[in-house]
Structure 1
Amino acid sequence: MSMLSIIRFILGFGYKLDRSLRKVLLKPYRTLRWIPCLLYPLLEKILKKTVSLPVIIQFDEQSFQTMDTVMGITRQYWRCRIKHRYPAVGCCSADLNVEAIEKLVTDCPQVKKIFFDREVRALLDVASPAILAHRVHRQGLTGKGVTIAVIDTGIYPHPDLINPENRLVAFKDFVNQRTEPYDDHGHGTHCAGDAVSNGYSSNGTYTGPAPEAQVVGVKVLNGMGSGNLSTVMAGVQWCIDHKEQYGIDIISMSLGSTATQPAKDDPLVQIVEKAWRAGIVVCAAAGNEGPEEGTIASPGISPLIITVGAMDDKGTVTREDDEVAPFSSRGPTVDQKGKPDLLAPGVNIISWRAPGSFLDKASKSGWVGEYYMTMSGTSMATPICAGVAALILEQHPGLSPDEVKRRMLETAQDWDLPPQVQGKGYVDAEQAISI
């Protein structure tokens, strides 16, 4: 009967555990089905002490300040530690064994909910002229004075970023704690170039929508392009904390995970919405699970932030032959809200290479000359949209994130498709600036 204790715990306190955590808690017990019943008490005791799980702990808003007192409980248990704190949303991340999880949930009313620290991954599967950014450049707008934080796999100091002057104003590494900028995967470098490339190494050919914008690199994904919810949240919290120091105006997030719960209950959604309310425009990828409906990834399910799907511009400047990329995730969200918000080019986008990175070695067929490579995905569409936001903020300093989003939505070109496919339509930089 002792083997039923974890089941009794989940039945009694399941409302304080997210679905993923409930499944993970039960998983070790399935391996014991052939063990003699007499050994159950001993084996369960061992399991509870030795199985350590990465989690996100959410506190009642008024109780976050007492977190140190509450977390004292975890220090009583083996293999338990606090990793990150997220004051913006009253959460922390930790490694806890099953005993500690039970103790916190049953004895600490300050604990509102505990989430499994799920995997988050980079969303992989001619752009500037296609969104009419070249017409904006002719007006003298280039994103100058605006700073975009790229939360991703890191940033390689590409020649187009450091010449004629270095526009990488800060770099923070939550994976390996290195201080010098690097990108061992290559995804973040390509995404940064999608937004801010000045074409220095291509005589201006491969230019992003905001070629004079500054960049902050925040590495939260490893050399294989994956990471954890806790690390991504730490990256967003860092941007909130350092908004004034580095002038962070925009966050571009070409990453995500499968959305399994409503936006209001998703800690990653909660923290990106805090960034939004702190005055930072947040652009997130819709995901690459299309053409099936209901495939919008987290944090793109947030109703506040700008969620970006991908268009295939067919490699042409004109828009007439453009169509929605089949891989671009469709709405509605897990809680039946309309998404994506916008579409931007995301197929065969030419941008920066990170020499020696995982993608650079694995995708040699995609190299374009010495300094560039092609990639596809809503990952590419998202920083292009962030670049358009930078142009808007250069032309209209002081606009709130809500006002930037409104401009982009109201001026998007309707592609005569269902809202769950196109949102408001195809982003139009020229109209978004001039409205």
Structure 2
Amino acid sequence: MDEKSTPHGVTTHTRDLPVSRGWGRRGIAALAATTATLGGVVMTAGPAAAAPLGYDVNAKGSLFHIAQAVGAHDSYRAGFTGRGVGVALIDTGVTEVPGLDTGNVVDGPDLSFDSQDPELAHRDAYGHGTHLASIIAGRDVAGTPASYTDPSRFSGIAPDATLLDVKVGASDGAVDVTQVIAAIDWVVEHRNDNGMNIRVINLSYGTDSTQDTRVDPLSYAVEQAWKAGIVVVVAGGNDGSTNLNLANPAQDPYVLAVGAADTQGTLNAVDDTVPSWGTRGTNQRHVDVVAPGVSVTGLRVPSGYADERNPGARRGDRFAVASGTSQAAAVVSGEVALLLQEEPRLTPDQVKRQIMSTSTAFSSTTNQYRGNGLTNVRQAQVKSNNTSTQSAQFWSTGTGSVEAARGSSHVERDGVPLQGEVDVFGNAWDGRAWATASGRQTAWEGGRWRGVLFSGDGWDGSTWRTAEWTAVAWDGRQWRDADWSGRQWRDGSWTGISWNGRQWRDANWSGRQWRTADLAGAAWS
């Protein structure tokens, strides 16, 4: 393993294995092989099963099983596969493994620290983004809608959706909240580039900030996406504690917040449960819905950080099993893409109401854990006469503290955290000026965000260019394994429940929700 220092002091770790890459929409390429972790998930071991995929496709957590449980197979039979709908995955990147190499993945900007290293730009050296991408829009072969019910081929929930990879998490998972804000701004401004038609953002990220959503900058950013017609799907959280505060921005009412369900291996929601690590909400705000998120079989990054440390989580040569609300959110992002293919004129409020009102409650727990219950996309598609709107009284001004938005999540170098009212470059944060620009969709101008060079200035084929950062008052951070705290290893399984801020914490990949009572309450009209 070699240590590489980028031009601005960001240290990464790579393995000398062959990597190739072409421009444009992704085709078959060699695997990226870098150290990686799968943040905010539970890696679980279990026996592998029969070919052709190397695991039992009818078992709990198989995407074939999940697609049946949430009605996606019924959607395919009706002709809906997500075609024409774009899903932006703001995460740790996407590695071009088989199943994510059939032409429906597009590289947006790399806003992570890795962007300064050409060997790591856009690629997922962490593992989380690749796993989620495969759940949302993975496919072995681009086929007919009916072909996606074939159990011998791997398919995500919306296999014909366009997946836009917007990388913010570095090879060790490090990310600052201002990088995530910049990514959301970028997606809103570029949502219609090259016919992508971005209608969904998957944001399995958050901080433990308790700042009022009505002033919080991260809340404001997701709200601008919501206002622009983009459904923001946020994971519900896996901290498993008595802390009832869900993450920022999932605590914001203008997102679709998702918790994890354990299907028990059956297709009927009646016996479903919520795992003990699921974040509990309050009567005022909890997950809107739940989706399968236990032992989910998705694509892995071979020789990656999580892959090397959790060999028991592997299924066959290509797959790994992971659990978390991150995975559940990815399932729902795929479902929303299927819904919007059939009903493209739905607003985010209407999508949220439609998904919630057609979910199935189960009796093993309360709505503080499960929201309205297990989603079913086909039921949501056939529902009609939805003209719902949420109250506008909770919109954020975005003028609050960016440091408060971080909560306890800070990136750091040599023990010195990035903190205070500054962005990732160390430049002073003017919340009012940023909020004005973000609301006007002018925070980005070419490759500059808030006037500072952050990325390239256009598309090279279907890949957004990178650029060397020229204005860096705070010059990055350095990570070594000994610095990582809060990890728990149990019986060969890895949990990311209590990671501290410099990683993607599972508590951070989380969200909050509205309950059934809110559907009928003053928040809706």
**Given the two structures, how large is their TM-score scaled by the length of structure 1?**
0.68
Check whether the contact 2:299–2:319 (CA below 8 A) recurs between aligned residues: yes
Equivalent in the alignment of 2:189? 241
Q: Quick one: distance in 1 between partners of 2:209 and 2:284? A: 13
Q: How does 1:88-237 map to 2 (within 5 A)?
A: 122-125=39-42, 126-163=65-102, 166-175=103-112, 176-177=114-115, 178=118, 181-200=122-141, 204-237=152-185
Equivalent in the alignment of 1:313? 263
Bigger relative contact order, structure 1 or 2 (CA pairs below 8 A, ≥6 apart): 2
User: 1:283: how far off?
Assistant: 0.2
| Counterpart selection for 1:358 from 285, 299, 305 | 305
Larger Rg: 1
Closer, same or farther: CA 142–386 of 1 in aligned 2, 3 Å: same
Check whether the contact 2:269–2:374 (CA below 8 A) recurs between aligned residues: no
Q: Quick one: distance in 1 between partners of 2:229 and 2:128? A: 26
Q: How does 1:390-409 map to 2 (within 5 A)?
A: 390-409=337-356
Q: How does 1:323-402 map to 2 (within 5 A)?
A: 323-332=273-282, 337-402=284-349
CA RMSD between the two structures: 2.1
Check whether the contact 2:93–2:165 (CA below 8 A) recurs between aligned residues: yes
- After the TM superposition, which segments of 4 or more aligned residues of structure 1 sit over 6 Å from their partners? none
Q: 1:300-348: CA deviations, max 9, x gaps?
A: 101110000000122343434321121111112xxx7321111001110
Gaps of 5+ in 2: 1-37, 43-64, 143-149, 384-525
Q: How does 1:12-51 map to 2 (within 5 A)?
A: none
Higher fraction of helix: 1
Tell me which amino acid in the other structure corresponds to 2:228.
A
Equivalent in the alignment of 1:287? 237
User: 1:225: how far off?
Assistant: 2.2
**Given the two structures, how large is their TM-score scaled by the length of structure 2?**
0.56
Check whether the contact 1:284–1:300 (CA below 8 A) recurs between aligned residues: yes
Q: Quick one: distance in 1 between partners of 2:250 and 2:67? A: 23
Closer, same or farther: CA 172–364 of 1 in aligned 2, 3 Å: farther
Check whether the contact 2:360–2:374 (CA below 8 A) recurs between aligned residues: yes
Q: Does 195-204 or 260-269 show the bigger shift?
A: 195-204
Closer, same or farther: CA 271–122 of 1 in aligned 2, 3 Å: farther
Q: Quick one: distance in 2 between partners of 1:341 and 1:167? A: 29
Equivalent in the alignment of 2:372? 424
Tell me which amino acid in the other structure corresponds to 1:292.
T
Q: 1:121-173: CA deviations, max 9, x gaps?
A: 9432432222121111111111111111111110011221222xx10123321
Q: 1:59-110: CA deviations, max 9, x gaps?
A: xxxxxxxxxxxxxxxxxxxxxxxxxxxxxxxxxxxxxxxxxxxxxxxxxxxx
Gaps of 5+ in 1: 1-120
User: Is the aligned partner of 1:257 residue 2:207?
Assistant: yes
Q: 1:174-217: CA deviations, max 9, x gaps?
A: 11225964100010000111111224499645422211111000
Q: Quick one: distance in 2 between partners of 1:299 and 1:414? A: 25
Higher fraction of strand: 1
User: 1:357: how far off?
Assistant: 2.4
The number of residues matched between the two structures is 310
Check whether the contact 2:210–2:245 (CA below 8 A) recurs between aligned residues: no
Check whether the contact 1:183–1:357 (CA below 8 A) recurs between aligned residues: no
**Structure 1 residue matching 2:279: 3-state secondary structure:** coil
Check whether the contact 1:312–1:322 (CA below 8 A) recurs between aligned residues: yes
